[in-house]
Amino acid sequence: MAIKCMTTAKSQGESKLKQEMKRKHRVEFGSSDESMVPENFIWPEEFKARESVPELHVPHIDLQKFMSENENDIEEVRRLVDEACRKHGFFVLVNHGVDMELMKNVHECMDEFFSLPLDVKQKAQRKVGENYGYANSFIGRFSSKLPWKETFSLRYAAHHPITHDYVCHHLGQEFSQQGKVYEECGKALSDLSLKIVELLGLSLGVPKQKFKKFFEDNDSIIRLNYYPPCNKPELTLGTGPHCDPTSITILHQDHVSGLQVYVDDQWHSIPPIKDSFVINIGDTFMALTNGVYKSCFHRAVVNCREARKSIVFFLCPAGDKVVRAPDEIVDKNPPRKFPDYTWPMLLELTQKFYRSDSNTFKAFTTWLQHKKLATAASSLAPSL
């Protein structure tokens, strides 16, 4: 049974207080009570958003068919996933086995967290160069093209339960119940991700256990996104165009549309579908497939009517695992296209030196080469 979040205030007085907190929260962010979008939130013309774009028709993958023993069902699922991942790396997962009551509880916890006064949320403030904690557009190393959102990022380690402890340590024991909900969510989505990489392995023609074993001890990220309404949504973006540097992304959207994917030189939307997850390939899994499966450019747009919330699980390998495409994949798709690396190396680049975009992996490859040359030169330098 899914763990419930904190009890939401039900009395009229408490409801009014909560509404007032939300109103103050929006003013602090500088959104719906502002007639103009601040200059540092305005994106260049080539990035300007349009809420109305054609829908991207992605396959709806029934995970229960993959888990069945019906060879025809398994072959159908394998073919659909392979086609989608070779073209753009996105598909929708249905009949996935995750308790939707749990996801409802996570959304309730998000509502409570993002409605808190700013000084309370800042107890878990994300530090520059780190990947976990609370962040809004005013916190960080960028001063232009800011995203119109707040986030709360949590570490999930498959073999070391730490999510609950992180929440309690930074926000206090009164948030213990929220921490338990986030921990349970991480466990459910980690388990789901292992089934997804089994399916991807089968679709690639490698033993389906190969990627499962690689990610069994995953050290991943849970990210809670809150996109406030904006009076001039055409001027800004909730999340700028980027490719995920991680391995597999599992996205749960609320009822508000906002995800857009760049395919065939045009932006397309993937609207929310009840009780489903949107899955996409990240740069690290693209490297594991030697580029056979694509990590696709995508973004989040905002609107002037209502807030949008999403829950994201970024599957990442354990820090000591070497990311290297299996020989059987490279032999079919030569030559080897990506350098060997560990996930913390790519994470360091994206958190300290480079803002993720469509060229993140190219920048990473160049950065890695420079680091190796610098290390080699240092080892050859005479000691004084």
Ranges of each domain in the chain: 37-365
> Among 126, 223, 299, 308, which one carries the catalytic annotation?
308
- Going by C-beta distance under 8 Å and a sequence separation of 6 or more, which residues neighbour residue 219? 155, 156, 157, 158, 316, 317, 318, 319, 343
- Residue 220 confidence (pLDDT): 98
- Residue 139 confidence (pLDDT): 59
Give the pLDDT mean for 110-123. Answer: 96
Q: Is 308 tagged catalytic?
A: yes
- Residue 363 confidence (pLDDT): 93
Q: CA-to-CA distance for 338 and 287, rounded, in angstroms?
A: 6
- Residue 337 confidence (pLDDT): 95
Q: How confident is residue 317, by pLDDT bands cut at 50, 70 and 90?
A: very high
Of the given ranges (15-19, 97-101, 121-125, 198-202), which has the lowest mean pLDDT? 15-19
Question: Does position 374 have pLDDT exceeding 90, yes or no?
Answer: no
Helix (H, G, I), strand (E, B), or coil: what is residue 242?
strand
- Going by C-beta distance under 8 Å and a sequence separation of 6 or more, which residues neighbour residue 244? 280, 282, 283, 295, 314, 356
Q: CA-to-CA distance for 238 and 260, rounded, in angstroms?
A: 11
Which tokens hold the place of 208? 């389906």
User: How would CATH label the architecture of 37-365?
Assistant: Sandwich (2.60)
Q: How confident is residue 30, by pLDDT bands cut at 50, 70 and 90?
A: very low
User: How far, rounded to the nearest angstrom, does the alpha carbon of residue 239 sit from its chain's CA centroid?
Assistant: 11
Question: Does position 348 have pLDDT exceeding 60, yes or no?
Answer: yes
State how beta strands 90-94 and 60-62 pair. parallel
Can you give the pTM of this predicted structure? 0.91
